Structure 1
């Protein structure tokens, strides 16, 4: 499937910025299951300082906010060919060893609620894939998809307690639980083509777990499936903070307003 993506992010500031830096992980890479045909990233209000692959092999751009800017706009667009591999991404590559993905983070660290969720799984008799699919179902049944109930700083344990969250929260809970089961797990940020609409409110997030003999396998808890040809992977990491599309700091900006416009659609081959 060929997917056409247009993604605009705009930050408006109530006061002129004195100094600011932003780290952008908004460039997909060709890998198992996806091939980037073309991709561009344009800026307004910032200057490109450096481009590099980070420790997770995410293509990263470091930009500085122009002094006095009252708005920053980042526009990404391109086309990506994808294939359905039943969620299987393949063997581990990169700078970090697999054991690194067993360590819990501030956002995935288990408390009593997450431990109880894992204890309810019949992991002793089930095969790894069966256990992980059962875990995905348990997370989705426990935490209702609710926009606005959590934010980027909400931990897995907190969203479990609230029984509400979004794809980011589902991924953090699933990752923390998978690590409790002794499985290396990581967070994925990216895009998902929705079947019922082109325009979307935000990007998407899901999880991947490393299983011997298969490699990394994806689990989209929010949609109760493994990623297929409708998904485009942008970045991976131990949690949201490692794979966030945009992170940064600013001095003197005052209040910040965020506006996102995202469209993901299937493009006919040859167009």
Structure 2
């Protein structure tokens, strides 16, 4: 499948800012399931960009902009060729051992309720891949409804709520997997199905878990299946905060207003 992606993040400031420094995790990497045809980062003002890689192996770009700045828009756009790898990640160099992703963070700390939920599923499955698939299928039914976005910051609060966003579901999946000592991590990227179903204004979130003999396998509890050719993978982290597409700081007073707009479209033809 050939996907066209355009993702704009627009900041407006109530007072001019003297300086802006941003860490951008907005550039996909080639792997066995995706090939980057073209990709660019555009900034609405004069800015210096420095490209590199973080500790998780994500392609990152440091953005430096000098003020006074009343606003700034960061747009990434490109085309990606994708194939369906049934969720199995391959063709990409890993910088960290899977064991690192058993580490619990404040966001992914599990409570008794999450542990009991995970244990109940694990009791019926002796092998890891069927267990993870069962967890992925069971999680969506835990919540009464779906939300496009929530402000909850802890997996326990997400699990206890009546509604959950795709990010919440993925983080609870990570928390539940780690409660079973399974390495798991949060993934941010783009999903054609999620954009069509939810009209989501921002990037999509899902999870990956380690399966011996296969490696990293993706799971999207918000969709109830593994990532297919409709997904483009951007970055991974221990949790959502560690893989957020844009993070940084500004020097200046006042407030900021943030608008995010994402379009994911399938282009005609298969390559």
Q: TM-score, normalised by structure 2?
A: 0.92
Matching residue of 2:164: 165
Counterpart contact for 2:14–2:254, Cα < 8 Å: yes
Q: 2:117 corresponds to which residue? A: 117
For the residue of structure 1 that corresponds to 2:176, the secondary structure is helix
Q: SS of 1:263's equivalent?
A: strand
Counterpart of 2:147 in structure 1 is 146
Aligned to 1:14: 14
Shift of 1:120: 2.0
Partner of 2:68 in structure 1?
Answer: 68
- Say whether residues 1:181 and 2:155 are aligned partners: no
Cα distance in 2 for partners of 1:91, 1:29 equals: 10
| Total equivalences in the alignment | 269
Look up the match of 2:132: 132
Scaled by the length of structure 1, the TM-score of the pair is 0.92
1:24-81 Cα shifts (integer Å, max 9, x gaps): 0101111120000100111123622421011111111111232210111111111100
Q: Distance in 1 between matches of 2:66 and 2:105?
A: 33
TM-fit CA distance, 1:179: 1.1
Q: CA RMSD in A?
A: 2.1
SS of 1:89's partner is coil
Which range moves more in the overlay, 89-98 or 138-147? 89-98
Distance 2:252 2:184 in 1: 38
How far apart in 2 are the matches of 1:28 and 1:68? 31
Deviation at 1:94, TM superposition (A): 2.2
Question: 1:200 Cα deviation (Å)?
Answer: 4.5
Q: Distance in 2 between matches of 1:162 and 1:105?
A: 20
Return the alpha-carbon distance in structure 2 between the equivalents of residues 13 and 107 of structure 1.
Answer: 29
1:152-208 superposed Cα distances (whole Å, 9 cap, x missing partner): x51111111223221111111100111111211111100011388497411101000
Q: How does 1:198-209 map to 2 (within 5 A)?
A: 200-209=200-209
Alpha-carbon contact 2:43-2:72 (below 8 Å) kept: yes
Where 1:194 maps in the other structure, the secondary structure is helix
Partner residue, 1:106: 106
CA distance in 1, matches of 2:200, 2:59: 23
Structure 1: 5+ residue stretches without partners: none
What is the correspondence of 1:37-48 to structure 2 with a 5 Å cutoff? 37-45=37-45, 47-48=47-48
- The unaligned stretches of length 5 or more in structure 2 are none
